[in-house]
Amino acid sequence: MNIHRDDLDSILDKIIEYIFKDNIKFFEKSGISTDKKPKLKIIESLPSIVEIALTFWMMQKHRRIYGLYVQSLGTLYIIKKPLKRIIYRLLNTLYTNKIIVENLSSKTTEGYSIIGIRLSELSKIIYPAYINWNDIKNVAAKIPVDIIMIHEFLHFFISKNELVTYTLEYLIYFYKNGFYKYPEAYKIIKENIKQCKEYIEKEKKPDSYELRRCLANIIIHENRSSEELNIKDIIEKIKYLSEEDIINEIKSYKI
């Protein structure tokens, strides 16, 4: 089943604006100063040539850009056209029951499930998702918007370092959305760690960003009795870790 493009457009702007405000609240609650806030600009495709020129070096690092923080403008861009491609794919996956969950689905209450979803076909990592099967359209839109928004907020409030933000992105998504409450979510984390171990054994040159997501899963698993994330403590723990340090951590971590 396909969702008409006009239907998605009608809700996407509202979801982006809601999640923008929700993330500001989360960072405030986490003790991060939010006196200075980014401006939000929702655009259909990439910015004007003038704005692209300001961040051209950054764009060369990414094959697809869903969100972008432009420091010189103090503006957080959410780019709808590539974002909608993810949402359409996720919608079709959900509607046709071809979800990559590897036996990790579990019914929580009537009409709801905690499942694992893979946002990128290139990634080994799956994200926990709280699915309301009666409102799939909103759910499918909120998940990628939330992850992208968290990433760009991290660039604004915490660090320009992509390796740091990729670790924190997964951690914040997990704790902000309350997945620590669900045993099913920890099954997903455990499976991710197993996949990470296999990945570093097979891959001679593992992707640095993928390694950081693996590290995030290990941090969640070793703190599985915790209901809160201390962002400042985590930053101190991870900011000086080398790629070799993370690979050794993945290899040695017992699950």
The pLDDT of residue 3: 47
The pLDDT of residue 167: 92
Say if residues 137 and 143 touch (Cβ distance below 8 Å).
no
How far apart, in whole angstroms, are the C-alpha atoms of residue 239 and residue 165?
10
Domain ranges within the chain, ordered by starting residue: 5-252
The pLDDT of residue 59: 47
Q: What percent of the chain has pLDDT over 70?
A: 84
Contacts of 89 (CB under 8 A, 6+ apart): none
Residues in the chain with pLDDT values less than 50:
1-4, 49-50, 54, 57-63, 98-105, 107-109
Terminal CA-CA length for the chain: 39
Name the pTM for this structure: 0.85
